[in-house]
Chains A and B, each alone.
Chain A
Amino acid sequence: MSTVTETIPRTSRRVLAPSVLSYVALFLISFIIVVPLLWMLLTSFKTDFDAINSPASPWPNPFTIEAYVTLASGDLPILRWFANSVIAATAQTVIILVTASAAAYALARLEFRGKRIVFGAIVATLLVPGVIFLIPNYLIVDSFGWLDTLWAIIVPGSAGAFGVFFLRQFFISLPAEIEEAARVDGAGDFRIFWQIILPLSRPALATLAVLSFLTNWNDFIWPIYVLLSPENLTLQPGLSVLQGTYSTHFGIVMAGAVIASVPVLILFTLAQKQIVESVASSGVKG
């Protein structure tokens, strides 16, 4: 992993010193990013009448949780969608952590026949656009009887090459000595994997867990086609249904968007540093 150093040698300070204009620009961009999100939150506390009649005024008048009550008690099972999203994203994250870490261990720290072919096949798929898999996987999932079930949301997406690649890079960076000492003590591959490699890799595993959860939570094109009945949806296709059903009931639509955003924004706040830095290093390491 490349480290992002914050320190800049004294000599270049003058060159890189920020001007007032830099701060003005950064605050302006922050404003453009934050205001729409705040507007979403505030609109979700408006009445329909208020949202339609005073769109230019951000403050709810009156302030009401009517939209959330309507959502919770209405015909659309948004709580069920929420639960489905939590179940699917959690299950897929667990599957990815287990399968990708084991595969990455073999690829990073064992020598075996066919390694280059296996690794090559996994890496090659990283560049294939998802649309290639859309229709064949629809038929495959259908043949398993998984259409309109959470299995379709959990299993196919857990085969992504990203997790294996990400963990392999990390495992390779661990020094060989830690493993050799354990081998001298008679530890086998499984014990080394379980008792040495995995505990040392907690930060990488946590980062992969967060990224996997976010990816599954936010996926849109796949669930809108493989989930069919209203009660089986996850939140993202649910929002599409919500928009169709309550088109100009903006308070309700925004409340749905808030409900779908809160878990990922909490995760992001807690793991901001890990998420941003793992993404940042993706372009730098090679």
Chain B
Amino acid sequence: MANPSLLAPLRGGSGSRGAAVRRTGGNRTPHGRRTLTAYLFLAPFLAIFLIFVLFPAVYGLWISLHVWNPLLDDHPFVGLQNFFDLFTPGSLTFDDFWESMRATGIFVAASVPLLLAVPLGIAVLLNRRIKGGTVFRGIFFAPYVLGVAVVSVLWRYLLDPQLGVVNAVLGLLGLPSDTPWTVDVPWAWISLVGITVWWTLGLNTVILLAGLKGISPDLYEAASLDGAGAWRKFTNVTLPGLRPVMTFVVTVTLLSSANMFGQSFLITQGGPGTETRTAIMYIANQGLVQNQMGAATAMSYVLFAILAVVSVFNFRLQRDNTK
């Protein structure tokens, strides 16, 4: 799910090589002592990082090679069988896993374009000389600081097909008041996507707005002198100027949409049937409720691999567009 810790630093990481070269010229003792000092500073963080980040990443691969029921002492080694099962039609996990991947795919395909277009439109508006621009910005961002649980229980009530607010208000306006917002497709998808846009549009808006402020006004003026209208300026100045920021926003949005869990878990319970059960929901349920930890970790690595391929593809695409 969209989450501040996903933010920041996909790019960056320019090292400080110059300083390193300067230092290594000296004698070894101070350098060794400096190394010791540095690791003393790093130790508390690295201890937690090794135990809860690096080790589990590898441990998960190990688990995926076994039939791993945490309630049993014996975890039979099965090699890559859990992975083969995911690609063998008719296996125990094949249908359910790919149905959940399909659900995640539908959600990504529907939510990502909206989460780019709507915030881009709002950012363009806010980039004009708007009175109270920071107030609007604050309002748009506010839902994002609420947790997925608050947002989901709120909308589950508002969209309740029988007792909810939305249908009641639609009825008062003389519109159909029996839309099955949370219990039938495609309505459930429309609701899940709409709620997610409502919840997180402020995040992409503020990032894109910062990108817009970085585009030189001279470029707009040059375009004006060339007789470009508003739309030409948007396509020829705004969009190219935003490209680096857009790459970042597309990547973060793709990853958070592909990790969707809480909205389906709380609003539709994956229903109707298992139509809106996302990959994360299925994996968590297989591993932590059904105790099929080996199969579940294998699925998490397959999902990770697919996301990695999509991200690399996206980076390539954006880079080639720039050339």
Say which residue of A56, A225, A284 sits within 8 Å of B172 (CB atoms): A56
Chain B interfacial residues counted at CB < 8 A = 118
Find chain A residues with CB under 8 A from B130 CB: 18, 22-23, 26
How would you classify the secondary structure of chain A's contact residues: helix, strand, loop or mixed?
helix
Find chain A residues with CB under 8 A from B300 CB: 129, 131-132, 134-135
Find chain B residues with CB under 8 A from A125 CB: 53-54, 57
Report how far A286 CA is from B18 CA in the complex, Å.
19
Interface residues as binary, A251-270 with B (CB distance below 8 Å gives 1, 0 otherwise): 00110110011001101100
Find chain A residues with CB under 8 A from B19 CB: 111
Find chain A residues with CB under 8 A from B136 CB: 26, 30
Say which residue of A29, A128, A275, A282 sits within 8 Å of B9 (CB atoms): A282
B15 on the interface (CB 8 Å rule)? Answer: yes
Task: Decide if B145 touches A264 in the complex (CB within 8 Å).
Answer: yes
A59 on the interface (CB 8 Å rule)? Answer: no
B114 on the interface (CB 8 Å rule)? Answer: no
Find chain B residues with CB under 8 A from A189 CB: 37, 41
With known contacts A40-B154, A165-B8, A283–B259 Cβ distance under 8 A: no
Interface residues as binary, B52-71 with A (CB distance below 8 Å gives 1, 0 otherwise): 11111101100100000010
Report how far A122 CA is from B242 CA in the complex, Å.
28
Chain A interfacial residues counted at CB < 8 A = 124
Task: Decide if A217 touches B53 in the complex (CB within 8 Å).
Answer: no
Report how far A166 CA is from B7 CA in the complex, Å.
10
Task: Decide if B55 touches A280 in the complex (CB within 8 Å).
Answer: no
Find chain A residues with CB under 8 A from B4 CB: 162, 211, 214-215, 279
With known contacts A99-B44, A159-B49, A264-B145, A12–B221 Cβ distance under 8 A: yes
Residues on B facing A (Cβ under 8 Å): 1, 3-13, 15-16, 19-20, 23-24, 31, 34-35, 37-39, 41-42, 44-46, 48-49, 51-57, 59-60, 63, 70, 122, 125-130, 134, 136-143, 145-150, 153-158, 163-165, 168-169, 171-172, 198, 203, 206-211, 213-214, 217, 220-221, 224, 233, 244-245, 248-249, 255, 258-259, 261-262, 265-266, 280, 283-284, 287-288, 293, 296-297, 300-301, 303-304, 307-308, 311
Q: List 29 A-B contacts (CB under 8 A).
A: A8-B129, A22-B125, A22-B130, A26-B125, A33-B142, A36-B198, A37-B142, A39-B154, A39-B165, A55-B163, A56-B172, A106-B42, A127-B10, A160-B5, A162-B5, A165-B12, A169-B9, A218-B145, A220-B1, A221-B284, A235-B147, A235-B149, A240-B265, A264-B146, A268-B138, A268-B142, A275-B141, A277-B210, A285-B12
Question: 17 additional contacts, CB 8 Å, given A131-B280, A162-B5, A272-B141?
Answer: A22-B125, A29-B122, A106-B38, A111-B20, A133-B57, A137-B56, A140-B52, A155-B52, A159-B48, A162-B6, A189-B37, A220-B1, A253-B157, A261-B146, A261-B150, A265-B145, A277-B210
